[in-house]
Amino acid sequence: MKTHTSHILAVAIALTAFAGSAFAAVSDQTIKNLNTAFQGESNAANRYAIFAKKADQEGYAQVANLFRAASAAEAIHRKTHEQAIQKLGGKVATFQLENVVPGTTEENLRAAIKGETYERDTMYPEFLANAKKDDARPAIRSIQFANAAEKEHAQLFQDALDNLGNNASADYYVCQVCGMTLTQLPPDKCPSCRNSRDEYKKIS
């Protein structure tokens, strides 16, 4: 019994040492990138919530729903980035939310498209490449989730802008695991994180 207990203790110590060495292999840049993404998604969630109120004020109820859905998705990305930082042994940096002064709904949609396009085409691909170089799986997971959703957001915002004033009624569903945003529930699993469609929440 004593020998068996000693063996279990040795295995536990070895696993702890392995986990520590894995964290040590993650570069400071990956943690910095995750903090940048965490802050960006925090600001986006706040900004889109404010844009939603502006759209409601201007009578664009459908666009307001879209902004609320995007805000909910960005809040999920914020959470997954925070979890990734912690799993990799990093520290979540403190920061203050940006001051948001909304423009017209048209201007807000253009700003949203610009932001989502930058994240989709530049920021997240660069962050993902660095995370893969480090083999930082929690970072890879959270970045891939966010980038997949940002692609959808960019298209949804563009469609809303193209049809502003004549926006067709549509529902928005957000996966509570990865933040993927869709206009209809997937038939079985989330196309991004592969969790059940039951993870989707209708935003209104």
Query: How many other CB atoms sit within 10 Å of the CB of residue 197?
Result: 14
CATH code of the region 27-169: 1.20.1260.10
> According to the model, what pLDDT value does residue 188 have?
95
- Successive 10-residue mean pLDDT values, the chain, 204 residues: 44 41 72 98 98 98 98 98 97 96 98 98 98 97 98 98 94 98 96 97 93
Please state the pTM of the whole predicted model.
Answer: 0.86
Q: How far is CA 97 from the centre of its chain?
A: 17
Task: Please state the length of the chain.
Answer: 204
> For the chain, what are the domain ranges?
27-169
Residue 106: partners with Cβ closer than 8 Å, 6 or more residues away: 161, 164
pLDDT of residue 26: 86
Radius of gyration of the chain (CA): 20
pLDDT of residue 42: 98
User: Contact, 159 vs 175, CB < 8 A?
Assistant: no
Whose structure tokens read 């996966």? Answer: 175
* Tokens read off for 133: 């170089």
List, in sequence order, every residue forming a beta bridge with 182; answer none if it has no partner: 173
pLDDT of residue 14: 41
Amino acid identity of residue 190, one-letter, is: C
